[in-house]
Structure 1
Amino acid sequence: MEKLTIEFSSEPVIEPKRGCDWADTMVLNPALFLDDDGRTIHMLFRATGPWPKKNLKGISDPYPIFLGYAKSDDLGESFKADFSRPALAPALEYDKDKMFIVNTVGEKVMNFANGCVEDPRIFEVEGKTYLTVASRLFPPGPYWERDARRDNLPDWIFTDETGVGQCARRNDTVTVMYELDKNALIFGNYENAFSYVCPLTDGALTDNRDVFFFPKRFMIHGKMQLLMLHRPDNPSKFEGVTDVTTPSIMLAAAENFTDFVTSKATNKLLATSEFDWEEERIGASFPPMDLGDGRWLVSYHGKQLPDYGYTQSFMILKEQENDFPKIIHRVSERLIFAKQKWELPDKFPCPCIFTTGAVVVNDTLIMGYGAADQKIGIAKVCLSELIAYIECFDENGVKVK
């Protein structure tokens, strides 16, 4: 197969809303799910704007990150966004005593999503719908201009020697999971749509994002276990990983969601940067899709500056007996990257196409993507043709067909 055709929005389907305080500056990186009617597509998108009322130190106005809701009645050709209020908002507390939340089992726990909720992914596990977000304890400043993660940190974190204090001093991302009530979200009952489950990554260990699950358990090391994709900033922090210090894709297995931040979880390196467009990092993009026969479609992104920025490609995994799945096909080419004028950088210097959600309608894969970290577009491709193209490459990215 010589060529794969992917269609892209000729213009953004959602743009920042001027005058909307929480979505004034950027909208990007949408999660998608398909309605039971088989035609309506629902979206959660990342958004931000300046928030001067939470400027703690006078260094810069924070830019807390929110999630907004939108829907499409025409299979992604257009979307109507609800800019009246965020669907999910960070609490934005600076007092440690107020930074707690009640989880799904009634426990009062630290709210690692206090500062922002970034890059949503929506998926199902064993019949329940979940949302993961990359979160920070405190909102960053204008992070596209410089490293502004620490512009609004309260004084108490500098003497707190717990894991929370260590995480807070870096203000790195911790991935948090919510149970999602889709009906509550669809009907605008946002207050009851999200139930805090737990953190899935350890912020005291390393920044970790691009985290989501396969929809079923796998037999791994003699146990039926949940299986998670994640992208640690420093993979060598995990047992069995050496000499890999660039952000890479890992798999983790555990019996319970709360086990993934403990020694009960088993981790395995899945993929590292191999090609020039992946030089700085790679991470999984939208949740894996079951292709049948023990095969799984995994979308992933790579980053390299100054030539490529963030671009997207695909791999296929194959289930193994009593072990983690392994890569059987990996495309060495960039398949999704910024080309159109509206997709190219404006506020940000880095070219960026970033997919975080997809649905399948008949044989069409419909993907939502953030462009230039400011706008949202939709890409469509024939799923069977995409699979056939991926199968032209072996596990090392060598084109064999």
Structure 2
Amino acid sequence: MKPTFRYLDHPVLEPVPGCDWADKMVLNPAIIQDPASTDIHMLFRATGPWPQKRREGCHDPYPIFLGYAVSRDRGLTWEADFTRPALAPALGYEESELYTTDIYGRKVRNYANGCIEDPRIFEVEGELYVTVACRPFSPGPYWLSDQVPPVETRFEYVPNWIFEGGEEDPFIKTARENDTVSVLYKLDLDKLKQGQYEQAFGYVGPLTEGHVSDNRDVFLFPHKMTIQNKPQYVLLHRPMNVQPFEGGEQAGKPSIYLAAAEKLEDFASSKAVHRLLAAPLFDWEENRVGASWPPLSLGDGEWLVPYHGKKDAIFGYTQSFLIVKEQDNEFPATIHRCPDRLMYAEREWEMPQDYPTPCLFTTGGIVMDGELIMSYGAADQKVGIAWVSFDELVAHVRGYDAEGNRL
């Protein structure tokens, strides 16, 4: 029997007219429980027109920001701070403006210069982190690329000098396509919830290589695993172009990958080792699949991995789940995969508006008193919350083998 999911009949957050950085979209929220209470903290993605950076002959740029919210009633209602972003892109344009200082005190390229999108919050070895998908430069109204006829605004704010830069600089190569790179920040939760945003985020660096592939849905397992006789960090990622990665010809389409590296900074380099975890398999995931938010431990080396699939612009995004198990001296492997469309856009406020694709896209999940609480983006413009019995969900997923066949 499929588990029963509960939804609110309204979004918990939505765009705020007149708020310059959240006027257009508020979506794709990450959540984490406060270690000292039942409060739930949220980081959400937001955007609005930014005319103060408009270039002549171009649309308004739409940089993407992170905002902060908190719930004190297990996700039913949320208090959001729309007075200012929690984390904002630098919006530099000249070469000298495209640097930041990382947590080690080094001056490094700032991959979060143009957009900071789709946060995921998780712990690694007792430290709290957040990953975000970033663009070197802001686009214009990017949703116009999905309209008919499409209007491409991705490159309107990429400076001309970028196309004259050296081939040896990976930042320059990434900026030429203005693709997303997943960036890791260290997160100080106490500073975040106290509104000390400037001290809450520490730039660690990129986890993916933008010049290899646009890459999203990136987050780490909370502890190292022994792979190839070495303790290594392990992350999930979803490259848009799978061809450069092992198993890419087999996968053929954007798929869920694992990567292992001895150091965090090695992920965005040739030192990382990649392994295909799950490619599109069912009808509702024909176009792509990607992990949705950080895995939850089931004990005995098993992990529940939430993931999404997309068939096409009409069918939209579906959320489902699989279970992976750690292997001796090897990458984790899928042992159960649910073939069902467990979560998808159904309510009126989740239906398309500016985007043509029905979208319910989970980006956070925590377990409280046996209930899995999930945060999601709806219609690519709003924030929703859903609940389900954690045990019932896991039992349902365990009813299928790794290929989705009923056991």
Equivalent positions of 1:207-218 (< 5 A) are: 207-218=214-225
Which residue of structure 1 aligns with residue 148 of structure 2?
none
Equivalent positions of 1:254-265 (< 5 A) are: 254-265=261-272
Which residue of structure 1 aligns with residue 3 of structure 2?
4
**What CA distance in whole angstroms lies between the structure 2 residues aligned with 1:291 and 1:192?**
34
Deviation at 1:304, TM superposition (A): 1.6
Deviation at 1:255, TM superposition (A): 0.7
Equivalent positions of 1:76-95 (< 5 A) are: 76-95=75-94
**What CA distance in whole angstroms lies between the structure 1 residues aligned with 2:390 and 2:342?**
14
SS in structure 2 of the partner of residue 297 of structure 1: strand
Say whether 1:368 aligns with 2:368: no
Note closer, same or farther for the CA distance 1:370–1:240 as it changes in structure 2 (3 Å cut): closer
Deviation at 1:306, TM superposition (A): 3.5
Deviates more, 1:282-291 or 1:146-155: 146-155
Deviation at 1:240, TM superposition (A): 5.1
8 Å CA contact retained: 2:251, 2:280: no
Q: Which runs of 4+ in 1 moved over 6 A?
A: none
SS in structure 2 of the partner of residue 234 of structure 1: coil
Say whether 1:75 aligns with 2:80: no
1:289-344 CA deviation, whole Å, 9 max, x = no partner?
A: 11101100000001122442112100000111100000001011111101111111
1:5-52 CA deviation, whole Å, 9 max, x = no partner?
A: 000121110111110000000100000010123411000000000111
Which residue of structure 2 aligns with residue 274 of structure 1?
281
Selected match of 2:366 from 359, 372, 383: 359
Deviation at 1:57, TM superposition (A): 4.8
Say whether 1:35 aligns with 2:40: no
8 Å CA contact retained: 1:56, 1:154: no
Selected match of 2:156 from 146, 151, 154: 151
SS in structure 2 of the partner of residue 394 of structure 1: coil
Give the letter aligned to residue 117 of structure 2. E
Deviates more, 1:385-394 or 1:160-169: 160-169
8 Å CA contact retained: 1:38, 1:361: no
Which residue of structure 2 aligns with residue 326 of structure 1?
333
Which residue of structure 1 aligns with residue 192 of structure 2?
185
Q: TM-score, normalised by structure 2?
A: 0.96
> Percent sequence identity over matched residues?
55
1:347-393 CA deviation, whole Å, 9 max, x = no partner?
A: 21111011111111010000000000111010000000000010111
Give the letter aligned to residue 154 of structure 2. R
Equivalent positions of 1:241-390 (< 5 A) are: 241-390=248-397
Give the letter aligned to residue 387 of structure 1. V
Question: For structure 1, which runs of at least 5 residues remain unmatched after alignment?
Answer: none
Give the letter aligned to residue 120 of structure 1. P
Say whether 1:197 aligns with 2:204: yes
**What CA distance in whole angstroms lies between the structure 2 residues aligned with 1:280 and 1:242?**
15
Deviation at 1:148, TM superposition (A): 2.0
Note closer, same or farther for the CA distance 1:21–1:71 as it changes in structure 2 (3 Å cut): same
8 Å CA contact retained: 2:314, 2:357: no
Question: For structure 2, which runs of at least 5 residues remain unmatched after alignment?
Answer: 146-151
**What CA distance in whole angstroms lies between the structure 2 residues aligned with 1:389 and 1:120?**
28
Q: TM-score, normalised by structure 1?
A: 0.98
Equivalent positions of 1:19-168 (< 5 A) are: 19-146=18-145, 147-160=152-165, 161=167, 162-168=169-175
**What CA distance in whole angstroms lies between the structure 1 residues aligned with 2:398 and 2:231?**
29
8 Å CA contact retained: 1:236, 1:243: no
8 Å CA contact retained: 2:110, 2:136: yes
**What CA distance in whole angstroms lies between the structure 1 residues aligned with 2:270 and 2:162?**
25
1:129-175 CA deviation, whole Å, 9 max, x = no partner?
A: 00100000001111111132112111111111232222111100000
Deviates more, 1:155-164 or 1:224-233: 155-164
**What CA distance in whole angstroms lies between the structure 2 residues aligned with 1:240 and 1:384?**
33
Give the letter aligned to residue 114 of structure 2. G
Give the letter aligned to residue 214 of structure 2. D
**What CA distance in whole angstroms lies between the structure 1 residues aligned with 2:98 and 2:318?**
36
**What CA distance in whole angstroms lies between the structure 2 residues aligned with 1:57 and 1:239?**
44
**What CA distance in whole angstroms lies between the structure 2 residues aligned with 1:150 and 1:194?**
28
Say whether 1:170 aligns with 2:177: yes
Give the letter aligned to residue 145 of structure 1. L
8 Å CA contact retained: 2:246, 2:276: no
**What CA distance in whole angstroms lies between the structure 2 residues aligned with 1:216 and 1:57?**
49
8 Å CA contact retained: 1:103, 1:198: yes
Deviation at 1:399, TM superposition (A): 2.1
**What CA distance in whole angstroms lies between the structure 2 residues aligned with 1:139 and 1:245?**
29
Give the letter aligned to residue 334 of structure 1. R
**What CA distance in whole angstroms lies between the structure 1 residues aligned with 2:103 and 2:118?**
22
Deviation at 1:243, TM superposition (A): 4.3
Give the letter aligned to residue 153 of structure 1. V
8 Å CA contact retained: 1:365, 1:382: yes
SS in structure 1 of the partner of residue 394 of structure 2: helix
Deviates more, 1:188-197 or 1:258-267: 258-267
